[in-house]
Chains A and B, each alone.
Chain A
């Protein structure tokens, strides 16, 4: 099992008086008891990661573990990694907030420490937002041209309808139509930029990993993007888990079913390796 070496996490919830142990099993010492109720992960019906709480639903009970109980950030990442990697074997239902990194159930154990490009970096919000916008530009460029032309024609038609086009005023109406089309298109473009940026901010805001130093790795068997505090270079996401990738000047984005799985900033790796990394990824994934 991937992440099998992470030490179990013991968390005390002051509000409920319960102590939770998240490890090979999920154990709960309820208030006033000295023996825990122990669950195999296979007994878990559902685990829900909400913005402020982790909810564990077994057949009979529902346990709520507020995230504020994790006084050490590493404990939180360890707990999440253990839950997600357990899911690979036990297959319980798991709902989680938006993520900037792949969930840990996609990893397999694989020692890549010798033959991999490994680097560390935080995922920079500006770089990622810029990549978002660039991708959006690619998608929107034709649409924006269409919008501009349609608005120009519409404005010209309206002017003709209400004022009437004559030889005298046509030289004024054409620049007016072009200007209105251009301005409205620019506004649409700016709105889309704002949406793209807020979309990333919303996603990164729900994942504490967005502020963490991430260890990135690329090897011939797959890639890894894992919080540095729990990474041990022994786990890899096989290439088959992603469909294609997009490369910008600052970032690689891996996609699965048209959804971004990971944003891998190039600055995590030394510049001299960028070419090799791009080649290695291209060998395994289609570039779009």
Chain B
């Protein structure tokens, strides 16, 4: 049976969304469950694997029976030696085609044929080539560890808000990194529109299928790492009907500018939601970044969506499971990413900043003042969260992502407030990531202050001041 690929652009609240359905797909890459694992004497850890071809690539350990709110423990599979040549060729051709000017639906057609059956949304977005914790993504997952931001439902963002994944996992091993290829990609990235192709894996993280050297070059040259993103549309969502049909629909939100800013998303505007009739069942289906109401979904795509399972096991499943427990023959590569790349990655937005940026729509000065005075509400509305300390932390991360000046002022105000003593250490560590004269002056003053109010930040302040003095 041949592979049937259909694509359609639909308009959701002013945003153009490209949907692609795959029927009879080859299922060359995707995620599938590989069962429970014995951990701490019970069977509560559900294991999943991201595979490419017949190779398990990334192991996802999902604690608490795969609880959707729990972060995953991720690692590169020990048996993985690299992408098969034929699959790599398809990826390379696809990236070249979309960079030559082909549309996403046409240029990526060969790649879509490698997907498993289902409906996908395809868009472009800017990625930070880190693991979401300031480490360059390539080589960051050799040891299994809990990766913040990989839960399906992010606790800070909430269950209902869509978000743009923006952190990476490698789809290839560090073995393939060579300075020769790097030199080629250093030139190539300057003229490329799309630097890579990614497949959404979990939470804020996606797997980079193509563009590993490009990621290194982009970080080195401070070029945004813009990728073509494939996300599977599979989770149903429900918007409770609240507005009576007779009531006027609320005004539509102003269309947001640009596509790349991660705080923007393709969520239906409130008017679009309110305009739909109250109906039984789910409102639509969603991926991480987009919510598609059932009414707007093409009929054939809807049929493919409900008549396929979220995670199908590939035909070579037994082979995949067998390889999971193997260890590759090759020793781990001695390739290293240049130090300046790691240093630049440390300064990139991390997972906590991105979460806060998606969780909070805006923060006005009066709202910040209310938070500083110990209130979690402003004009009768909860500003961020009923939890005061959570509100302070989220506000800081939000400001750090959006506005450095306001962040510095807000953070210093917090650390000057002895009543917010519990947050001082965290805020000091966040602010210490900036190279800023105002922060330097504050930390210097804190070091000479002998009242004991800055006790928790002295270590961070000392390190910051010494480092700043060396650099400047």
Q: Is the interface of A mostly helix, strand, loop or mixed?
A: loop
A1 to B311, CA, bound (A): 10
Choose from B36, B281, B295 the contact partner of A43 (Cβ within 8 Å): B281
Report chain A residues within 8 Å CB of B234: 24
Are B307's CB and A10's CB within 8 A? yes
Return chain B residues, CB-CB under 8 Å to A40: 236, 238, 282
Kindly report which residue of chain A lies nearest to residue B117, judged by CB atoms: A7
Which residues of A from 15 to 57 have beta carbons under 8 Å from B? 21, 23-25, 27, 34-40, 43
B43 touches A34 (CB 8 A): no
What's the Cα separation between A27 and B306 when bound, in Å?
A: 8
In the bound complex, do residue B309 and residue A60 qualify as a contact, i.e. CB atoms below 8 Å apart? Answer: no
Residue of B nearest to A21 (CB): B306
Question: Which of A5, A6, A8, A111 has the most CB atoms of chain B within a 10 A radius of its CB?
Answer: A111
Report whether B43 and A238 are in contact in the complex, using a CB–CB cutoff of 8 Å: yes
Do B310 and A109 touch across chains, with their CB atoms under 8 A apart? no
A58 interface residue, CB < 8 Å from B? yes
Q: Are A21 and B307 in contact (CB under 8 A)?
A: yes
| Cα separation A238 to B43 with both chains bound (whole Å) | 8
A113 to B309, CA, bound (A): 23
Q: How far is the CB of B280 from chain A (nearest CB, A)?
A: 5
Q: Which residues of A contact B279 (CB under 8 A)?
A: 37
Contact call A1/B33, Cβ cutoff below 8 A: yes
Give chain A residues whose Cβ lies under 8 Å from the Cβ of B142: none
A34-B299, A40-B282, A58-B280 given as contacts; is B33 within 8 A of A23 (CB)? no
Query: A35 vs B280: C-alpha distance in the bound complex, in angstroms?
Result: 12
Contact with A along B235-276 (1 / 0, CB 8 A): 010100000000000000000000000000000000000000
Q: Using Cβ atoms and an 8 Å threshold, which residues of chain A touch B370?
A: none
A1, A37, A110, A113: the one contacting B281 at CB < 8 Å is: A37
- Please tell me if A189 contacts chain B, counting CB pairs below 8 Å: no
A10 to B279, CA, bound (A): 22
User: At the interface, is chain B mostly helix, strand, loop or mixed?
Assistant: mixed
Q: Are A35 and B35 in contact (CB under 8 A)?
A: no
CB within 8 Å of B: which A94-142 residues = 108-111, 113
Closest partner residue, chain B, to A111 (CB atom)? B35
Closest to A5 in B: B313
Q: Is the C-beta of B10 less than 8 angstroms from some C-beta in chain A?
A: no
Interface pair B294/A221, CB less than 8 Å apart: no
- Which A residues, 241 to 283, have Cβ-Cβ distances below 8 Å to chain B? none
Interfacial residues of chain B within 306-347, with CB under 8 A of chain A in the complex: 306-313, 318, 321
Chain B CB within 8 A of A234 CB: yes
**Chain B nearest CB, measured from A9 CB (Å):** 9
Contact of A38 among B65, B236, B318 (CB under 8 A): B236
Q: Which of B38, B299, B306, B313 contacts A25 (CB 8 A)?
A: B306
Q: Which residues of A contact B66 (CB under 8 A)?
A: 1
Contact with A along B283-315 (1 / 0, CB 8 A): 000000000001100010010001111111100
Question: Within the assembled complex, what's the spacing in Å between the Cα atoms of A1 and B306?
Answer: 17
Residue of B nearest to A222 (CB): B43
Q: Is there contact, CB below 8 Å, between B299 and A110? A: no
- From 358 to 393 in chain B, residues with beta carbon under 8 angstroms from any chain A beta carbon are none
Tell me the minimal C-beta distance from B404 to chain A in angstroms: 42
Contact yes or no, A35 B299, CB < 8 A: yes
Which residue of B has the minimal Cβ distance to A82?
A: B309
Q: Is A71 an interface residue (CB 8 A)?
A: no
Closest residue of B by beta carbon distance from A113: B318
Closest to B38 in A: A221
CA distance A6 to B38 in the complex (A): 24
**With A35-B295, A108-B36 known to touch, is A4 a contact of B309 (CB < 8 Å)?**
yes
Starting from the known contacts A8-B309, A39-B280, 8 additional A-B residue pairs (CB-CB under 8 Å) come to A4-B310, A4-B311, A23-B306, A36-B306, A108-B36, A110-B43, A111-B34, A111-B321
Query: Which residues of A are at the interface with B, using a C-beta cutoff of 8 A?
Result: 1, 4-8, 10, 21, 23-25, 27, 34-40, 43, 58-61, 108-111, 113, 221, 234, 238
Jot down 12 A-B pairs with beta carbons below 8 A, ordered by A. Answer: A7-B309, A8-B307, A21-B306, A23-B308, A23-B309, A24-B306, A24-B310, A25-B236, A43-B281, A58-B280, A110-B36, A221-B43
